[in-house]
Amino acid sequence: MTFVVSFLVVVGICAMASAAWRFLTLRTKGFPVVVRSLPGEEGRHWRYGVVVYSPNALRVYKLRSLLPRADFHLKRLSTEIAGRRQVKAVERHILESSLHIVELQCNKKSLELALDSQADTALVAWLESRPSERRVR
């Protein structure tokens, strides 16, 4: 019995250390975002996270995830802005009214990101400055 308790304590400490490391390292590397996968129920399944840009990919890390890798990984050459909209009334309980929603599509994946103006500008600049597919080949 004491082995089981000791094991659970060690697992709990490791999980807390992993969550603290993820939170402290990621929040300085990117932009805060609220994200959800599509299709989704209207006004539901939004998760807080951080968007981190690299030369070839956009990575989204959910703040409440313990995965050591990104929760969403979108390749730069395949990512397109599919649409924009304002926050709906049903979403105002979780999203600030100053945010707006950007829908991204990458291959068959669709995401909605709730961004402020600065994060939206960074996203558009990152997408527009990508090299053309012809140049990459």
pLDDT single digits (tens) 2-27: 888 888 888 888 878 777 776 676 66
Residue 113, domain extent:
2-136
Quote the CA–CA distance of 137 and 87 in Å, as a whole number: 39
pLDDT single digits (tens) 27-68: 677 888 899 988 777 767 899 888 888 888 999 988 877 777
> What pTM does this model have?
0.76
In the β-sheet with 79-86, what is the strand arrangement from edge to edge? 72-75, 57-62, 47-53, 31-37, 109-115, 100-106, 79-86
Tally of domains in the chain? 1
pLDDT single digits (tens) 71-97: 889 999 988 999 999 988 888 888 888
Structure tokens at 129: 């400055």
Write the CATH number for 27: 2.30.29.30
